[in-house]
Structure 1
């Protein structure tokens, strides 16, 4: 049944979903128009909000570009390449490949969202090289695992409210992760998704005659040595082939990571990128090989560079115009103590299409949701997790977070979003049902 349902969804998305860059332009116009019509903002005021916020994600854009680049460089090292090949051999057929990539992505995303995006894409590439399976669904399955990230160990909202002195501490206090990440209802959602997401992906597998097969180009990712330049060897050439220089720097970086974790430090995006880079430096062995893999990796980063500033502009319009607050308040107005976590989830999901940032969403919704929870007598920790799950849920149809994975996989958003649309419906029922019933 899901296979039959996925066909029209895939055709619909392939026909009507524009390129991710065109989509962000359309979202910009929608947000600007809504700010003028709903919030009565003047065109000049909206223009100033948009332009003033356009560059507010520069640091984050660089982090996401490094997720792509460092992940690719690490995957192109011989040890990692061989490890992915060994793991891919566990898939005896297309159905097993879909289930395996889903489980790997779910696990990695639950640990850390940046780690999950890179690992899922790289494993999908390796599976495509060894198993004849629909490549669109394979990458969509890798991306669908991302849905659990905000209920996992690196969820930005539960970690924020568990931190002393967070910006809502005066209203809600410090909420330990035992009431959010490790609460029964949250673990139940995660467990159900670990079962259903791989099964739904497997049930959507097209017949061979309807599948689209693709073997990603290996380039230097096959681990073969990069040939040295022709002609006399200069001192600079010998430095580029120096393993000692690479190992001194790379091992020092690994030493920093060991000290970081021994000292109680956790995973975040900077640590993931730092770890990927240092391991890539050590495992490539020479600067020449590392730079060769960098040249290949950087080609896929154009979408991140050009699109993330536009999303920063949209976020500025939504927040500064009051549109995001109005949207959140409209859902709160129909809630009671039992249903507020559910409506927080729905509000978070809708807002995430325009403000695809967990921390950004919480900054907008917390001043509305927390007082509403206190007034209604709702569980404030569960309301916060409702917002968190809403943010994670509609990432399934928001290309913002898919850009690094799509760049690594060599696909466009329209190639995978039809399958993700089916997952959006299934996971929405599961998450929303658990927030209502548990």
Structure 2
């Protein structure tokens, strides 16, 4: 049944889903028009919201570009290549490859979302080198594991409300992760997705006649042949000592961060870990730089599109449009259905504000009074926002850009399969938030 369902979904998306750059331009126009029509903002005010917010994600944009680049460099180092090859060797059939890449992506994304995006994409490429499998579904499966990130260890919303001094602390206090990430209802949702997402992906596997394969030779990174070292500069470029004099202290800093300072995972720490491990495992600066040149090719989408999303977020927040959208849906809620409507509203807002922390800042002022008025558990409502934010990432190509950059595909190649996952996982998450 899922194979039959995925066929029209794939064709629909391939025909009508534009390039992510076109998608973000359309969202910009829609957000601006809605702010004028719904919030009665003047065109000049909307223009100012957009222009003032356009560069607000520069730090985040660079972090995301480094997630792609440093993760690629790490995975292309000889030891990690061998590890991925052995792990990929466990899959003997196309179906096994789909299940394996989904499970690896789910586990990595639950630990950290940046880690999951890179590991899933790179592992999919390695599987494609060894197993004859539909490459579109393989990469879509790698991306589908991203669905669990906001219910995992690096979830923005649960970690925000567990932090002293967060912006809603006077209203709800500090809510520990035992009530959110490690609550029974959240863990059961995660467990259900670990079972269902690989199964759904496997059931969507096209027949051999309908599958789209990739020549494994196209996935190999091209490296220049090494000649004889004759210049002093070349000796530095091929110096193991120089690489380790920088790489090993970088890893020692991370050991200090985790063990002595009690620090946790965040995007900067993940990038540092990827970078310093890559420096050490590549052994020479020349090897690292060759990998960097290959990795940077996939980062163009991140560089050009993230500023537009910053502008859209500014319009949504500053005009009041995000709050109005959330409030309209919440007005339908009862004590029983508030988590469900919170989840749906978060999913809709995420299409325009694809940022977990930013979305909580937008929706908390609407959701918290509703939860208090109806007597609904605050941690459950907070996790409904988190899951809604993660859910529609299966439709929103913003977060798929690093995966697509690594895999060498376009959004239309994978989003048909992701659309089916969106419908099915939405039912599971909504049921868990409402009745568990």
TM-score band by shorter chain is: over 0.9
Q: Which residue of 1 aligns with 2:356?
A: 358
Q: Which residue of 1 aligns with 2:337?
A: 339
Q: Which residue of 2 aligns with 1:236?
A: 233
Q: Which residue of 2 aligns with 1:289?
A: 287
Distance 1:218 1:284 in 2: 19
Q: Secondary structure at the match of 2:351?
A: helix
Question: Is the contact made by 1:332 and 1:344 (CA closer than 8 Å) also made in structure 2?
Answer: yes
Output one character per residue of 1:323-355: Cα deviation in whole Å (capped at 9) or x when no partner.
001011111211122211111100100000000
Q: Which residue of 1 aligns with 2:175?
A: 175
Question: Is the contact made by 1:133 and 1:211 (CA closer than 8 Å) also made in structure 2?
Answer: yes
Matches within 5 A, 1:228-377: 228=226, 233-263=230-260, 264-377=262-375
Q: Which residue of 1 aligns with 2:394?
A: 396
Distance 2:79 2:189 in 1: 35
- Gap runs ≥5 in structure 1: none
Q: Which residue of 2 aligns with 1:197?
A: 197
Distance 1:403 1:197 in 2: 21
Distance 1:92 1:268 in 2: 35
Q: Please state how far the C-alpha of 1:425 moved relative to its aligned partner.
A: 0.5
Q: Which residue of 1 aligns with 2:144?
A: 144
Output one character per residue of 1:289-313: Cα deviation in whole Å (capped at 9) or x when no partner.
1111111111110000000000000
Q: Which residue of 2 aligns with 1:27?
A: 27
Q: Secondary structure at the match of 2:390?
A: helix
Distance 1:331 1:26 in 2: 23
Distance 2:195 2:307 in 1: 36
Distance 1:140 1:277 in 2: 26
Distance 2:128 2:191 in 1: 27
Q: Please state how far the C-alpha of 1:265 moved relative to its aligned partner.
A: 1.2
Question: Is the contact made by 2:125 and 2:219 (CA closer than 8 Å) also made in structure 1?
Answer: no
Q: Which residue of 2 aligns with 1:58?
A: 58
Q: Please state how far the C-alpha of 1:227 moved relative to its aligned partner.
A: 3.7
Q: Please state how far the C-alpha of 1:234 moved relative to its aligned partner.
A: 2.4
Distance 2:376 2:427 in 1: 21
Q: Secondary structure at the match of 1:399?
A: coil
Output one character per residue of 1:341-396: Cα deviation in whole Å (capped at 9) or x when no partner.
11110010000000000000000001111111111111011000000000000000
TM-score, length-normalised on structure 1?
Answer: 0.97
Question: Is the contact made by 1:342 and 1:432 (CA closer than 8 Å) also made in structure 2?
Answer: yes
Q: Please state how far the C-alpha of 1:261 moved relative to its aligned partner.
A: 1.1
Question: Is the contact made by 1:192 and 1:430 (CA closer than 8 Å) also made in structure 2?
Answer: yes
Q: Secondary structure at the match of 1:400?
A: coil
Distance 2:303 2:8 in 1: 32
Q: Please state how far the C-alpha of 1:218 moved relative to its aligned partner.
A: 4.0
Q: Which residue of 2 aligns with 1:9?
A: 9
Q: Please state how far the C-alpha of 1:97 moved relative to its aligned partner.
A: 0.2
Q: Which residue of 2 aligns with 1:383?
A: 381
TM-score, length-normalised on structure 2?
Answer: 0.98
Question: Is the contact made by 1:171 and 1:371 (CA closer than 8 Å) also made in structure 2?
Answer: no
Q: Secondary structure at the match of 1:314?
A: helix
Q: Which residue of 2 aligns with 1:123?
A: 123
Distance 1:229 1:56 in 2: 46
Runs of 4+ that moved beyond 6 A? none
Question: Is the contact made by 1:220 and 1:292 (CA closer than 8 Å) also made in structure 2?
Answer: no
Distance 2:292 2:427 in 1: 42
Q: Please state how far the C-alpha of 1:228 moved relative to its aligned partner.
A: 4.2
Count of equivalent residues: 434
Distance 1:333 1:287 in 2: 58
Q: Secondary structure at the match of 2:55?
A: coil
Distance 2:192 2:61 in 1: 33
Distance 1:215 1:407 in 2: 18
Distance 1:84 1:98 in 2: 15
Q: Which residue of 1 aligns with 2:423?
A: 425
Q: Which residue of 1 aligns with 2:40?
A: 40
